[in-house]
Structure 1
């Protein structure tokens, strides 16, 4: 389950940013994940929940995931199109020579935190 490794890295980055900002708690983490990473949203959520239980900074935090469909450009005819992970042939010319333009992303879009009252 590579989702546990992915989420461990995400949460380490979020924790560092939150602590650097002086946050007392992480409320929400928003991720964008491309389908070509083969990460399963339910498994990412499960990993997030399991890891959150081990870190009080994430107590009650929500994870919001935006999945990005694969989008490619045909290198033979220049057509751009969406597809799934398994059918990567150009719908215009049936070529398999493609450049993946979107669908491999994995990034933290934003985090929402509680800051101490001063």
Structure 2
């Protein structure tokens, strides 16, 4: 199941950005998932939940936004929903060589929401105070 490797890659990228931003916890991640990306959103959500354990993303909500596959014919300038299985022949003129896939392959992080402050369940980073010598 490649959804686990996708979930782990998303978690790695989000955790890196969240730590750099001083986050204590990530509350949600929004992904755009194209119809032709080869990803099953339910499987991705399951894997995401498992892979988040013990990270800044533990308990975070994964929101997937589907992107329907769309194509364009350069010959007749027609646009259509590609569907599944993909129909890459223009329904208007029958052309197959002048077809351009315009949407449906997306797999990207759209947004991340996190909480600022020291990480939950992690001890605060100690600060060093100057040592004063009193005699």
Verify same fold: TM over 0.5. Answer: yes
Which residue does the alignment assign to 2:133? none
Which residue does the alignment assign to 2:80? 81
Q: Any residues of structure 2 matched to 1:95-110 within 5 Å, and which?
A: 95-97=95-97, 98-110=99-111
Task: Using the TM superposition, give the Cα deviation of residue 90 of structure 1 relative to its aligned residue in structure 2, in angstroms.
Answer: 1.4
Contiguous gaps of at least 5 residues in structure 1: none
Taking structure 2 as the reference length, the TM-score comes to 0.80
Taking structure 1 as the reference length, the TM-score comes to 0.90
Partner SS for 2:10: helix
Which residue does the alignment assign to 1:28? 28
What is the Cα-based RMSD across aligned positions, in Å? 1.4
Contiguous gaps of at least 5 residues in structure 2: 119-135
CA distance in 2, matches of 1:90, 1:38: 22
CA distance in 2, matches of 1:17, 1:80: 38
1:4-35 per-position Cα deviation (integer Å, ceiling 9, x unaligned)? 11111111100001000010100000000111
CA distance in 2, matches of 1:112, 1:31: 12
Task: Using the TM superposition, give the Cα deviation of residue 76 of structure 1 relative to its aligned residue in structure 2, in angstroms.
Answer: 3.1
* Poorly superposed stretches of 4+, deviation over 4 Å: none
1:17 aligns with 2:17: yes
Task: Name the structure with the higher helix share.
Answer: 1
Partner SS for 1:114: strand
Task: Using the TM superposition, give the Cα deviation of residue 100 of structure 1 relative to its aligned residue in structure 2, in angstroms.
Answer: 0.6
Which residue does the alignment assign to 1:47? 47
Which residue does the alignment assign to 1:116? 117
